[in-house]
Amino acid sequence: MPSTAGRVQRRSLLTAAAATAAVAVVRGQAPTAPSETTLADSPLSSGAAITVERRDDIVLIGINRTSMRNRLDGPTRRRMGEVFYGYEHDPSLRAAVLFGHGDCFSRGIDVDAAQASFQSGQSPASTDGTVDILGKATPPPGKPVVVVAHGETWNLGHEIYLACDVRIAAATTDFGQDENTHGRFPGGGATVRFVREAGWGNAMRYMLTGDHWNAEESFRMGVTQLVAATPQAALEAGVAIAKKIAAAAPLSTRATLTSARHVTTPVEADALARTNAMYAALYKTEDFLEGRRAEAEGRPPKYRGK
């Protein structure tokens, strides 16, 4: 277990008041046998892009590229996959909480890094020893993941949010799925999961226009299960739910997730797989380049459908 000082340091989103903060608004594949391994702590002080904090039988996983508004590049996504692999195969862990350090959950993909990768024709990195939270490169975690959003939760950040099992948002969360306005498209699963969770009209209203929405609207659409007053209260609520999940029988929890995914996985697998090629192809269009130029120049883009 980490030292008391180290634990306090890593709890960057928590304050002493958060321990007593009430939630302000509450609106109403068979797993492989885990190996005998344990997931080690990854202290925030190390500068790791993904931090890990064990708390008995739950683990807090933090996105920590704060200087980049927690945008995810290839190495960060792989490290996240390694951490989720460790969680999946650590028999002492029963629930995970995913959150973002700093001022936001995540602005989404690191577009500059992705553009360089797609245009250079780099082959995808090996998925050995990783678990893809999106369930595209590998099956998703067989154990439950509670996600806590605050601040900017955009594009890939929102798609990661959608991929988790229980979703909590601070009241100030700014959700967005605005790739179409930048010459890209929601390639991380929103075209599948957002539609499933929110309904066709709600999902298309935001994906096709690029308009953003808040936590209350996310709750109204059925995507978010709980809205908390502050980021601190949201994280505390996420930890509390994870502890309740961890207290249940672990084999029953796995059976519940596996049974539920017998409904969703066969229907969604093909659609999720097709998004990779479609997403990469858009990075090579004139419209994508125009979107990047317009963003850099602070002007509206002029798309031509090429």
Residue 301 lies in a domain: no
Q: Which amino acid is at 166?
A: V
Residue 8: band (very low, low, confident or very high) from pLDDT cuts 50, 70, 90: very low
Q: What is the pLDDT of residues 114-169, one digit of tens each?
A: 888 766 667 667 889 999 999 998 889 999 999 999 999 999 999 999 999 999 99
What does the alpha-carbon distance between residue 5 and residue 27 come to, in Å, rounded to a whole number? 36
Query: Is 298 within the bounds of a domain?
Result: no
The enclosing H or E element of 120 equals helix 111-120
**With 60 as the cut, is the pLDDT of residue 246 above it?**
yes
pTM of the model: 0.84
Average pLDDT (60-89) is: 97
The predicted structure's pLDDT at residue 203: 98
Total domains in the fold of the chain: 1
Each residue of 72-81: pLDDT tens digit? 999 999 999 9
Does residue 9 lie in a domain region? yes
Query: Domain for residue 42, yes or no?
Result: yes
CATH number at residue 113: 3.90.226.10
Ranges of beta strands (E only) in the chain are 50-55, 58-63, 95-100, 145-149, 152-154, 166-170, 174-176, 213-214, 226-228
With a cut of 90, say whether residue 1 has pLDDT above it: no
Q: Has residue 304 been placed in a domain?
A: no
Distance CA 82, CA 76 (A): 10
Amino acid at 39: L
Residue 303 lies in a domain: no
- CA pair distance 203, 192, nearest whole angstrom: 10
Cβ-based neighbours of 164, under 8 Å, separated by 6 or more: 98, 133, 145, 146, 147
Alpha helix positions (H), 135-285:
156-163, 190-198, 200-207, 215-221, 231-247, 250-282
> Has residue 305 been placed in a domain?
no
* Structural domain includes residue 264: yes
Segment 191-217 shows an average pLDDT of 98
**Local confidence band at 40 (pLDDT 50, 70, 90 cut-offs):** confident
197 neighbors 218 (Cβ within 8 angstroms): no
pLDDT at 45 > cutoff 50: no
State the Cα–Cα distance between residues 289 and 280, nearest whole angstrom.
13
Residue range(s) defining the domain that contains residue 50: 4-293
Burial class for 19, CB neighbours closer than 10 Å (0-12, 13-18, 19+): exposed
